[in-house]
Amino acid sequence: MRLQVFCVDRLGMTRELLDILASRELDLRGIEIDRSGIIYLNCPEIEFEEFRQLMFQIRQLDGVTDVRKIQFMPSEREHKELKALLEALPDPFFSVNLQGKIDLANQPAEQLLGKTREAVLGETVHSVLGFNFHRWLEKDSAKHYSEMVVLSGLDYLMEVMPVYVADESDNEVLASAVILLKSLSEAKMPLAMRKISGDNGFEHLVGQSSRFRHLIAQAKKLALLDAPLLIQGETGTGKEMLARACHQRSLRREKPFLLVNCVSMPDNAAETELFGVAGTGGESGKKGIFEQASGGTVFLYEIGEMSSHLQVKLLRFLQDGTFRRVGEEKEVRVDVRVICSTQKRLPDLVAAGQFREDLYYRLNVLSLVVPPLRERAADIVPLAELFVSQFAQELQQAKPVMSDKLSQMLSQYAWPGNIRQLRNVLFRAMTQLESAEMTVDDIQLPENESASVINEETLDGSLDDIMKRYETGILTNLYRSYPSTRKLAKRLGVSHTAVANKLREYGISKP
């Protein structure tokens, strides 16, 4: 029980109260005295008759004006109110002690990290958020600090705020720190805050498959080099995002990253757009993309669509870094790194006379191949979780839980549109969702699309590549109706071992 004793401020009052408790053999669990002189006592619960006698005995003390039973001690009430306030915060929140360990975390922080609160408490903030707490204490003298961080593929503004308390001499003493993570979508993020620390952009690329990890490890190495980089992959695999990550990790990250869409740019305007135009009538000329990106990176999206005329000019620029503006004789020299992407096979275009062979070899100095989503099935659910989190933020609604059956279905679908298709499907589902769980019924997918659609994209690559894609579609669809390797082997008229090997090779899991 907790007692609130109203009394005058006189010497010995607290001692007399403690004597009464001792005479009744009541343990004192806590005592607090506020600035107005009110005394608070925390004792074990007692029977009603004994409680009535205790209250009478306290009221008889000289200077006591009243005594009441209350629910909480002042410190308990403050703690519970603070905890309730923190739980009500929509953004993840952490309280960190001076050893850099987490003492308190709210539910949004628990959801963000995908861990229980018990697992987070006691962990160092460096291992959880990647923030060097001790360097902040030493270097920044524990001042308010903010920076952009990426957690689980999402952007956050991390604010670190010191907590000072007054000691007995009314001097300000650092007691702890609080960390608040404010989620920011790319559309709402100020340009000045888009400089990401750490791996410089690669945190946005989510996946756990061996092919994805190999791609990222290779990309991080090539990002630091200055030679042209060619990124190949099907539509919707994230080639532009990978190019941006490579730029952010390079020494050119403080300079511009400019994108040129070779598909949508009219040929008659493309040369002016890329290389600029000379001035006329005393007016200064217009800078092209390459001049505007001086010191930075130019990303040529779908380089295979570039006209023959522009291919010649691009080849000369790649050879010595010089070009002429349209209508001007003076040569301009700029220092720019060129990154290209294509979903077509450039060697085939070269063989067909649609792409210059010398330009192909100039561009293909460094290359990355982004695998389609169907070949990295282990990444589908982590990507889906990321997209659902992003959409929940943008739509300002609670993040739903994906059912196990939905996760299985997403993993087994062939995704001809790759990551872009997955993202669009989930966005449509989020806008229609009315419950806290996302199920198979909320997802709209074209049936048997992986097996029935035959176009230039599905016929891309060698015969071996085409057959692998076709086999993946067949096995994925039939595995739903024959959910065991023996049943599936019998249906296809092959050995159980052959089917098991194919399922393992293509990363198709049991439905």
pLDDT at position 438 is 93
- List, as own/partner pairs, every contact residues 349-353 make where C-beta atoms lie below 8 angstroms and the sequence separation is at least 24, other chains included: 349/304
From the list 285, 263, 255, 287, the residue with the least C-alpha distance to 274 is 287
In this structure, whether the domain defined by 203-369 belongs to CATH 3.30.1300.10 is answered with: no
Residue indicated by tokens 């929940």:
392
- List, as own/partner pairs, every contact residues 97-105 make where C-beta atoms lie below 8 angstroms and the sequence separation is at least 24, other chains included: 97/176, 98/137, 98/174, 98/175, 98/176, 100/124, 100/125, 100/126, 100/133, 100/134, 101/125, 102/128, 103/176
Q: Return the amino acid letter for 41.
A: L
Q: Kindly report the CATH number that applies to the domain delimited by 89-193.
A: 3.30.450.20
Helices 496-506 and 463-481: crossing angle, nearest 10°? 110
Q: Report how far residue 475's alpha carbon sits from residue 54's, in angstroms, rounded to the nearest whole number.
A: 80
Query: Residue 291 burial by CB count (10 A; 0-12/13-18/19+): exposed, middle or buried?
Result: middle
Q: Return the H-helix or E-strand segment holding 437.
A: strand 437-438
The domains of the chain are located at: 2-76, 89-193, 203-369, 376-506
pLDDT at position 491 is 79
Q: Report how far residue 475's alpha carbon sits from residue 485's, in angstroms, rounded to the nearest whole number.
A: 10
Domain 376-506 in the same topology as domain 2-76 = no
pLDDT values of the chain reduced to their tens digit, one per residue, 511 residues: 999 988 888 888 889 889 988 988 888 888 988 877 899 899 988 888 889 899 999 898 988 888 999 988 888 888 787 777 777 777 888 989 989 999 888 888 888 887 887 888 889 988 888 888 888 888 766 788 888 887 777 778 889 988 888 777 778 888 888 999 887 654 344 433 334 334 446 877 888 888 898 999 999 999 988 899 999 999 999 999 999 999 988 889 899 999 988 887 777 678 888 888 887 766 777 888 999 999 999 999 999 988 888 898 899 899 888 888 888 878 889 999 999 999 988 998 899 899 999 999 999 889 999 999 988 888 999 999 989 988 888 887 888 999 999 999 898 888 988 999 999 999 999 988 888 899 999 998 875 444 444 444 455 667 777 787 778 878 877 777 677 888 788 878 888 888 888 888 877 876 5
- Report residue 383: phi and psi, to 5°: -65, -40
Q: Report how far residue 25's alpha carbon sits from residue 16's, in angstroms, rounded to the nearest whole number.
A: 14
CB 451 within 8 Å of CB 477:
yes
CB 346 within 8 Å of CB 392:
no
Q: What CATH class is the domain 2-76? A: alpha beta
Architecture, CATH, for domain 376-506: Orthogonal Bundle (1.10)
Sort residue 179 into left (φ over 0), alpha (ψ -120 to 50) or beta.
beta
